[in-house]
Amino acid sequence: MSLFLQNLVNALQWGSFYALIALGYSMVYSILMLFNFAHGDIFMVGAYIGVGVAAVLLAASAEGALALPPWAILVLTILLAMVLTSFVGMLVERIGYRPLRGAPRASAAITGLMIGIILETGNLALLGAQRIRFPSLIDTTVYEVAGVFITNTKIIIVVVALLLAAGMHFFVHKTKWGLAMRAMAFDYVAVPLMGVSVNGIAALTFALGSALAAAAGILYALAYPVLDPYMGIVFGWKAFVAAILGGRVSVMGATLAGFLLGFIEIFVAMIFPSTLRDLIAYSIVLLILIVRPHGFFGEPYSARLRL
């Protein structure tokens, strides 16, 4: 029983990363019909920007220029990295996708792949091949509850992920920009007639998705502090699976599917040798998709009108 609960806690943490990355994937895909395959690399960029921001804050703190407690440095690191990474996301949209808006879907899809490679190798060129350590911002405390070990890091990760997902849900369903995003998920032609700039909403979508990926990157680095330029690739693929599984224009769907993926992976690893984890886990996901090709929530992907 305590083994089960321990794995449940681990799955919640693991699913948090998938959920946050899946949200960005899902929004860009639902609203702009783009496979932004660079999104996993935005996660990586976010983690690296987080390293930079944290280093600056820590240095300022050590010099006495900023008297900040550790938790404040962590919060500031997350927020600043989200803002900075959102600019990277907008840049990707502006350079890589906007010029190709009328182009065939396949062209836009390979754009994502190319931007991904550019971000990975750009990082390599800039910082070299050695791995980088994320500074430890807070001391790890371990709590034991009924035989289950829970670290403060795990709690932070899950709580921050849930708060951000809830914030995104609020944004998409309760603000005028969210309304415009949901409308753009159906067409680009009637939306501008409401006085809404399609380019503006596209940039906003990329900015939000990238900010969430950055948050995921830093949370991931809190748990696994060694970063390398290719850390986003497999994460990106899996989060994309979660995004599609969640269903179209559904913040809740993408979040739940992210957590579901985390659960499946962790529990498969609990039962089977960990080398078989992804083989079995993704066979299960494939079966789910065959039964529910439109995902769990939201509008079916087919039968859309695009002019």
Question: Is the CB of 67 or the CB of 303 nearer to another protein?
Answer: 303
User: Using an 8 Å Cβ cutoff, are 221 and 49 in contact?
Assistant: no
Question: Of 56, 66, 162, 183, which one interacts with another protein (CB under 8 A)?
Answer: 183
Question: Of 56, 75, 162, 187, which one interacts with another protein (CB under 8 A)?
Answer: 187
Query: What sections of the chain are H helices per DSSP?
Result: 2-32, 39-63, 70-92, 105-127, 152-174, 176-184, 198-223, 232-246, 251-271, 277-291
Question: Is the CB of 118 or the CB of 182 nearer to another protein?
Answer: 182
Question: Of 190, 271, 276, 286, which one interacts with another protein (CB under 8 A)?
Answer: 190
Closest CA to 43 of 162, 167, 171, 220: 220
Question: Which residues in 238-267 contact another protein (CB under 8 A)?
Answer: none
Question: Is the CB of 197 or the CB of 283 nearer to another protein?
Answer: 197
Question: Of 94, 98, 182, 294, which one interacts with another protein (CB under 8 A)?
Answer: 182
Residue 79 pairs with which residues in a beta bridge? none
CA 81, 72, 164, 242 dihedral sign is positive
Closest CA to 231 of 140, 127, 74, 116: 116
Q: Tell me if 180 contacts another protein by CB under 8 A.
A: yes
Question: Of 58, 60, 100, 198, which one interacts with another protein (CB under 8 A)?
Answer: 198
Separation between Cα atoms, residue 251 and residue 20, nearest integer Å: 10
Q: Tell me if 193 contacts another protein by CB under 8 A.
A: yes
Residue 144 pairs with which residues in a beta bridge? 149
Question: Is the CB of 186 or the CB of 230 nearer to another protein?
Answer: 186
Q: Tell me if 228 contacts another protein by CB under 8 A.
A: no
What does the block give as tokens for 274? 């960990």
Residue 149 pairs with which residues in a beta bridge? 144
Q: Tell me if 169 contacts another protein by CB under 8 A.
A: no
Q: Which one of the spans 79-87, 148-156, 173-181, 254-262 is the region binding another protein (CB under 8 A)?
A: 173-181
CB of 193 to another protein, least distance (A): 5
What b/e string do you get for 178-205 counting C-beta neighbours within 10 Å, with b at 16 or more? bebbebbbbebeebeeeebebeebbbbb
Closest CA to 93 of 120, 115, 117: 115
Separation between Cα atoms, residue 24 and residue 243, nearest integer Å: 8
Question: Is the CB of 228 or the CB of 299 nearer to another protein?
Answer: 299
CB of 246 to another protein, least distance (A): 16
Question: Is the CB of 106 or the CB of 307 nearer to another protein?
Answer: 307
Q: Which one of the spans 65-73, 123-131, 186-194, 206-214 is the region binding another protein (CB under 8 A)?
A: 186-194
Question: Is the CB of 129 or the CB of 174 nearer to another protein?
Answer: 174
User: Using an 8 Å Cβ cutoff, are 218 and 52 in contact?
Assistant: no
CB of 302 to another protein, least distance (A): 12
CB atoms within 10 A of CB 87: 14
Residues that bind another protein in the complex, under the rule CB under 8 A: 170-171, 174-177, 179-180, 182-183, 185-187, 189-198, 299, 305, 307
